[in-house]
């Protein structure tokens, strides 16, 4: 991996399907595009999937996948991993919503990798507890963006196995369990990346962060349907406020959101669409 100080963005020399028509025409921020983003020793390959974006984070000897929303996304991720030329070692769900995890266990199985959960997600899965759902009135922020995302229907490959993951009734029975991602500690297999617990969108949400480059793989803590916004779908307003106050001082230069294109720029988090704290 080359070390560059500037943020470099490039495409991937692999054919990808076009973004859905509705996304290309209606989504204010436009579609997420397959791309490679690198700076200061960090490299992330973004692969737009059926329901969310898989972010492939490159380590010295292995790759870590942040989210695999659909089993049908796995062939694209396989092609990208082949292009990089490193094995997939870990699959990391940023939180336990269906659109981020229906392909996680199957991806781990096919790659011979392990699923690494954040501390709270690990407890919820171990104790077969259902995660707390989002506040009902904030779910209105799901529907228009789902249209912007192309109104994806469930892939046949995601039924029935995938429906055990990420829904209100799901107990998320991951079978390929691996190391725990401890808050504030290094992410296994990566160099210089740490796990941050970022509750608010969900209780168990995590981000992974590379301080040297200012790269933040954000899951659904930040989304980019409208130019970059704190996710308005919220499980706990007070926790989300606290998360945002903790994140804002970080010198983030690139955000890899679970939905929408990669965001880059200096002091990036301060420029996101504001969190609607008045909705509590």
- Stretch near Fe ion under the rule CB under 5 A, chosen from 54-62, 151-159, 188-196, 212-220: 212-220
Interacting residue with Fe ion among 158, 220, 229, 236 (CB under 5 A): 220
Instruction: Check if the beta carbon of residue 73 is closer than 8 Å to that of residue 47.
Output: yes
* 253 three-class SS: coil
Compare residues 38 and 105 and give the one whose CB is closer to Fe ion.
105
Count the site residues for Fe ion by CB under 5 A. Answer: 2
Q: Which is nearer to Fe ion, 111 or 174 (CB)?
A: 174
CA distance 19 to 17: 6
CB nearer Fe ion, residue 23 or residue 231: 231
Burial of 271 (0-12, 13-18, 19+ CB in 10 A): exposed
Enter the tokens of residue 223.
């989304």
Whether the Cβ atoms of residue 16 and residue 138 lie closer than 8 Å to each other: no
Closest distance between Fe ion and the C-beta of residue 219, in Å?
7
> Minimum Å distance from CB 225 to Fe ion?
13
Interaction pattern, residues 118-157, with Fe ion; x per rule: CB under 5 A: ----------------------------------------
User: In the window 70-99, what residues touch Fe ion (CB under 5 A)?
Assistant: 97
CB of 154 to Fe ion, least distance (A): 16
Question: Do the beta carbons of residue 90 and residue 62 sit within 8 Å?
Answer: yes
**H-helix or E-strand spanning residue 106:** helix 104-111
Binding positions for Fe ion, rule: CB under 5 A? 97, 220
């Amino acid at each position: 991996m080359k070390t560059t100080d500037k943020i470099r963005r490039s495409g991937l020399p692999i054919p990808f399907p076009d973004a859905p028509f509705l996304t290309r025409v209606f989504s204010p921020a436009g579609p997420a595009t397959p791309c490679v983003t690198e700076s200061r020793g960090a490299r992330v390959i973004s692969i737009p999937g059926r329901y969310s974006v898989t972010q492939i984070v490159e380590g010295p000897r292995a790759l870590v996948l942040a989210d695999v929303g659909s089993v049908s996304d796995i062939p694209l991720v396989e092609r990208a991993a082949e292009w990089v030329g490193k094995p997939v070692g870990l699959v990391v769900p940023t939180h336990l919503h269906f659109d981020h995890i229906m392909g996680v266990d199957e991806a781990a199985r096919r790659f011979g990798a392990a699923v690494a959960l954040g501390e709270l997600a690990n407890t919820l899965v171990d104790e077969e507890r259902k995660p707390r759902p989002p506040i009902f009135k904030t779910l209105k922020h799901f529907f228009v963006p789902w249209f912007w995302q192309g109104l994806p229907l469930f892939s046949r490959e995601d039924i029935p196995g995938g429906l055990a993951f990420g829904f209100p009734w799901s107990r998320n029975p991951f079978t390929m369990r691996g190391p725990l991602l401890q808050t504030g500690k290094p992410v296994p297999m990566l160099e210089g990346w740490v796990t941050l617990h970022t509750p608010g969108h969900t209780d168990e949400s995590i981000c992974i962060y590379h301080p040297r480059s200012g790269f933040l793989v954000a899951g659904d803590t930040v989304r980019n349907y409208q130019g970059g916004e704190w996710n308005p779908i919220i499980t706990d307003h007070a926790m989300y406020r606290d998360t945002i106050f903790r994140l804002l001082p970080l010198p983030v230069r690139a955000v890899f959101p679970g939905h929408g294109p990669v965001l880059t720029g200096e002091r990036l988090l301060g420029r996101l669409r504001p969190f609607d704290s008045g909705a509590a």
